[in-house]
Amino acid sequence: MRTARGRDGSPSMVEVAASAGVSVGTVSNALNHPHRVRPATLAKVHAAIEQLGFSRAENRPARTNPSMVQVATVAGVSVGTVSNALNHPEQVRPATLARVRAAIEQLGFTPNANARSLAGGESRTIGLVVVDLGNTLFVDIARGAQREAAARRESLLVTNSDRDDAQQDAHLDLFESARVRGVVLAPLSDPFAGIQRVRRHGTPLVVVNYDDGRQDCCTVLVDNERVGYLAARHMIDLGRRRLAWVSELNDLQPVRERQAGVRRAVREAGRGVDLVELDTEGVGENHGDHVVEEVLALPARRRPDALVAVTDILGVSVVEALQGAGLSVPEDIAVMGCDHDARAWGGAVPLTTVRLEGEEMGAAAVRLLAAEVEEGIDHVHRRVVVQPSLLVRESSAGRAPR
């Protein structure tokens, strides 16, 4: 078993505690708040400290990183050569390189990125400000951005604005003051102000998942029209003929676009396929109930045989309400959602959905950022539209034969 020793081999508090026959917490108190410890115990602890030669100073070394000057001294070269060994090793004689690397290893040298960025005038980190890490889509975006950044030998730093505009601004400023190479923003609402905030400094910026229609910066978007189209088309392909679009009727861009896609699929299908649009007055976990009442109130021949919900959360809610009313899914009514939201994965009937490909979105954002950095003054903002994909599960297609 490894024992808990300081790097110089001095005993740790764990060993003191063991030797004194008390808990580590008691040792801590004995050192910091001796009045909280009974005199007898205090004596035992001090005896153990004495015996083991324990010293707090050795136990927790002061924070100190060796600098390039020290590396240079140990290696017997100049600071410039250490820098070259780090950044342009091909320009350094192999023997020298070896000496420098040995010194780096020996001292445990970790370059100071702040000094590096200051002197070199560039940073290799990208900042990602995300509206809600509780939503799977944004975790996927972060994952994809991370992957693409790593492939380009850049680091990704994430920040969660948690649906708060003030935090979002603070995080944009944070990355600006860190002089990151660029910022990816997945905003809560119209990011106009945020964009200005970043761009007035000329910092490259990519906005993800929000189309402000202005093209002030590069953008990565979901083709939401296609989300709706894929969903409705799937139901039609399964032979369903009376579709219902289940959504809150609001003006949010993604909602409108998905609805348009559903309508197009129904239109393309021609006669024989109908569409009814049902308002849930909300997209929360319980908003399925209301819609299901509406569905059941319809005369049998007009009752839909397929429900497409605007989100997975809503879709799950609808499935539950249907089952609660004694209907079976998908036999009586097929149901699906949109988003591929992990919070909807636990349902009684696995929900068919349209997946948004967050990882691809995150990766595309980092690629756009890299392009903007490379192209410099010649850069022209682009928009990338990531295509969603259908994910068929039981709520539409039924249980696969085993």
Partner DNA sequence: CTGAAAGCGCTTACAG
Q: Is residue 281 exposed (0-12), middle (13-18) or buried (19+ Cβ within 10 Å)?
A: exposed
Contacts with DNA by CB under 7 A: the residue count is 30
Question: Taking CB under 8 A as the rule, does residue 28 contact its own copies?
Answer: yes
Structure tokens at 42: 């205090």
Question: Taking CB under 8 A as the rule, does residue 108 contact its own copies?
Answer: yes
Q: Shortest approach of its own copies to residue 175 CB, angstroms?
A: 9
The Cα–Cα gap between 32 and 75 comes to 42
The Cα–Cα gap between 151 and 282 comes to 41
Residues 71-90 that bind its own copies (CB under 8 A): none
C-beta of 46 vs 379, nearer to its own copies = 379
Question: Taking CB under 7 A as the rule, does residue 377 contact DNA?
Answer: no
Q: Shortest approach of its own copies to residue 51 CB, angstroms?
A: 19
C-beta of 118 vs 151, nearer to DNA = 118
| Bridge partners (DSSP) listed for residue 277 | 245
Distance of CA 125 to the CA centre of its chain: 16
Question: Taking CB under 8 A as the rule, does residue 51 contact its own copies?
Answer: no
Span of 76-84, 90-98, 111-119, 390-398 interacting with its own copies by CB under 8 A: 111-119
Question: Taking CB under 7 A as the rule, does residue 89 contact DNA?
Answer: no
| Long-range CB contacts (within 8 A, 24+) of 98-104 | 99/75, 100/71, 100/75, 102/75, 103/71, 103/72, 103/74, 103/75, 104/71
Q: Which of 36, 93, 163, 214 binds its own copies (CB under 8 A)?
A: 214
Question: Taking CB under 7 A as the rule, does residue 92 contact DNA?
Answer: yes
| Long-range CB contacts (within 8 A, 24+) of 266-271 | 266/232, 266/236, 269/236
Terminal Cα-to-Cα distance of the chain (whole angstroms):
49
Question: Taking CB under 7 A as the rule, does residue 79 contact DNA?
Answer: yes
| Bridge partners (DSSP) listed for residue 329 | none
The string of DSSP codes covering 32-98 is H-GGGS-HHHHHHHHHHHHHHT--HHHHSPPP----HHHHHHHHTS-HHHHHHHHH-GGGS-HHHHH
Q: Which of 52, 381, 389, 397 binds its own copies (CB under 8 A)?
A: 381
C-beta of 71 vs 319, nearer to DNA = 71
The mark string for 257-286 relative to DNA (x by CB under 7 A, - otherwise) is ------------------------------
Structure tokens at 49: 């400290």
Question: Taking CB under 8 A as the rule, does residue 34 contact its own copies?
Answer: no
Question: Taking CB under 7 A as the rule, does residue 112 contact DNA?
Answer: yes
Residue with tokens 């106009």: 192
The Cα–Cα gap between 292 and 297 comes to 8
Q: Shortest approach of its own copies to residue 71 CB, angstroms?
A: 14
Span of 4-12, 48-56, 62-70, 147-155 interacting with DNA by CB under 7 A: 62-70
The entry of its own copies, DNA, none that residue 68 binds, CB within 5 to 8 Å by partner kind:
DNA
Q: Which of 104, 156, 206, 366 binds its own copies (CB under 8 A)?
A: 156
